[in-house]
Chain A
Amino acid sequence: MVEGASLFSITERIFRLLRGEIMIRSLLAKTIVPVALTAAGFIVVSCILLYTTIKQDMIHSAVQYETNLAQVVVKSTRQTMLKDDRDTLRNVISNIGQMSGVEHVRIFNKKGIIMFSRDGTEVNRAVDKQVSGCIECHRGAEPSQFLGKMEQARRFTNDRGQEILAITAPIYNAPDCFTAACHAHQPDQKILGTLDLGLDQAPLRKELATLRYRMVSFGVLLLLLTVTGIAALLKRSILDPISRLARYTGGLRRGGQAPPFPALKGDLAQIAGDIRQLTQERQSATDEHGGPAGPPASRGDNDH
């Protein structure tokens, strides 16, 4: 009989514990899930927008750098072009092409035929004017004479799977070109040829990967901090006081010696005070009517 009673008591305790756990879990879920979802969403969206903006800025910088580099090449080869020193120009182009990170460097004439290139097999080949890098100028009936810096740039993946940023820099006609004795150009000719310079984007990709890694780490840390902070505050301000209130009201229900009033503040203290008063009034009424001074009936206790 005693064994049966203790088993019943243990089972009741387990159920009470489970009920308590379910309540806390439900409260936690109701409060933490929306907050965590919102914080995560906001951090992810902000990081994506920030990353996209920084990526775009870095690509702009790379284009700017490469355009300047192309201008340096055009300026430094100008004298050899004026002198029609093709061997020196071929050497210059070949040397630039051997630099690390340079995927291709070539000069086209106005008809689109490759005159000089790092890759000797390309020389004298005509390029398709409808491909990226050419179409920007050759879209209309009359080719454009001027392009913005971003329009001069094109990005593509080569046969070896490398991501390339290429710049096409026009070589403009100038008075010393059409008045030179070597090979006279017509003064009305605006563009004499084009320099095409392509650089491997591996360093930029590496920097972007590092940026992504740092942003993900920062986002995860921020999310953890936010959710942990909110969970700690909720536990301290809501869940613990509710647990104390639940223990106190449970003690009152069981009867016997009244449990000590819990350390509560505000509304919860008022609820605890009201419950204590109700229990005392009920107890007094029971005593006056000479009834048994047992514990007050609670839900589930009076259904026999």
Chain B
Amino acid sequence: MSNSTPDPQEQRRLNERQNHRRAVKKRTRSLQIQSFKGLFVLVLFLMISIAAINEFRMFPSLSPEIRDFLGAAPPPDLISIALLLYFISALILTFARLATASLAHGGFTHLGYLTGFYLFYHFAHRLADHFWAVFFTGITVIGLESYHIYLSFSEAALREEDEVDSFRND
């Protein structure tokens, strides 16, 4: 048994590989965390829905000046047509992303659109009738988007893990 000192070049290569492994592990962890981003958006949407079902009573009502500035709310039938169009296009977009395993996603954008629909119905004084339509649209779109985010980011994390394994095997 002799105490052999490692070759400095070999040592440097080992260090570089170890650093790379650490970076990949960090990326994997970040991807794993991001795969739950959809759930976070879903929780935010549920909180906005709770405010909406209470007709946004916890917020101060708009002053007459601001209401005048905003003008009359659009007719509820037009809002419903816009909601249906949004719903169909959001589903098509999410399915396209699912099919191509793209990491692109629109979680917060959907949250904005859905809050907008709640507000439009609220200002048209028809939120009570249309609350469940917006709610189920949100649950479906954000649910599907969360599934897409989870799948895409988990798969990306798995690919990174495979890279770490390949270093280990080297």
- CB within 8 Å of B: which residues of A? 30, 33-34, 37-38, 40-42, 44-46, 48-49, 52-53, 55-56
Contact A37 B140 (CB under 8 A): yes
Q: In the complex where A45-B136, A53-B80 touch, is A38 in contact with B91 (Cβ < 8 A)?
A: yes
Contact pick for B87, options A40, A42, A55, A56, CB 8 Å: A42
Give B140's nearest chain A residue, CB to CB: A41
Contact in complex: A45, B129 (CB < 8 Å): no
List, in ascending order, chain B residues with CB within 8 A of A48's CB. 130, 132-133, 136
Q: Is the interface of B mostly helix, strand, loop or mixed?
A: helix
How distant is the Cα of A169 from the Cα of B31 in the complex, in angstroms?
A: 66
Inter-chain CA distance A48–B136, complex, in Å, is 9
A140 to chain B, nearest CB (A): 15
Interface residues, chain B, CB within 8 Å of chain A?
A: 76-77, 80, 83-84, 87, 91, 95, 98, 129-130, 132-133, 136-137, 139-141, 143-144, 147, 151
The answer to whether A34 touches B133, judged by C-beta atoms less than 8 angstroms apart, is no
Cα–Cα, bound, A237→B78 (Å): 42
For the A-B complex, the count of residue pairs with Cβ-Cβ distances under 8 Å equals 52
- Which residues of B have CB within 8 Å of A42? 87, 91, 140
Q: How far is the CA of A34 from the CA of B133 in the complex (A)?
A: 19
Cα separation A158 to B83 with both chains bound (whole Å): 35
Q: Of A33, A40, A45, A53, which is in contact with the most chain B CB atoms at under 10 Å from its CB?
A: A45
Q: Closest approach, in angstroms, between the C-beta of B165 and any C-beta of chain A?
A: 15
Extra inter-chain contacts (20) besides given A33-B147, A49-B130, A56-B76, CB under 8 Å: A34-B144, A37-B144, A38-B144, A41-B87, A41-B136, A42-B91, A42-B140, A44-B132, A45-B84, A45-B87, A45-B140, A48-B130, A48-B132, A48-B136, A49-B80, A49-B83, A49-B133, A52-B129, A55-B129, A56-B129
Which chain A positions have C-beta within 8 A of B136?
41, 44-45, 48
- Complex alpha-carbon distance, A55 and B132, angstroms: 15
Query: Cβ of B144: which chain A residues have Cβ within 8 Å of it?
Result: 34, 37-38
Do A34 and B147 contact each other (CB < 8 Å), given the known contacts A44-B136, A45-B87? yes
